[in-house]
Amino acid sequence: MSLTDILSPSDIAAALRDCQAPDSFSPKKFFQISGMSKKSSSQLKEIFRILDNDQSGFIEEDELKYFLQRFECGARVLTASETKTFLATADHDGDGKIGAEGIKLFKYR
């Protein structure tokens, strides 16, 4: 399964266009524009599985900086500031990584 099986390619493209400039990425806005905020819990779990590059069950900071590239290989890398902000927002237990439950937070923010 790929992200385009769950999300519209045009919505993904619009979300990526919105955050092309460095330090313009907003997780909440990206989730809204891409359609992720409207997905069910099971769909979000599948998206999380796809985004979890090493299949560890968590998205760590090293993986998170490449978040946009999981949607399109030519997309930019998140800046250090964007990565830290994204991690802090979704890391609900403070362990330095995001579990599947952390991704679901953006559905409600």
Query: Could you read off the pLDDT of 30-82 as tens digits, one per residue?
Result: 999 999 999 998 998 899 999 999 999 999 999 999 999 999 999 999 999 99
pLDDT value of residue 105: 63
Residue position matching structure tokens 């090493």: 54
**Domains with residue ranges and CATH for the chain:** 7-106 (1.10.238.10)
- Tell whether the model's pLDDT for residue 101 goes beyond 80: no
* 72 labelled binding-site residue: no
* 63 labelled binding-site residue: yes
Let me know: does 19 contact 25? Beta carbons within 8 Å. Answer: yes
- Taking the whole predicted model, whether its pTM rises above 0.85 is answered as yes
* Res. 107 pLDDT band, cuts 50 70 90: low
Residue position matching structure tokens 């362990």: 95
* 97 labelled binding-site residue: yes
Specify which residues 97 forms β-bridges with. Answer: 60
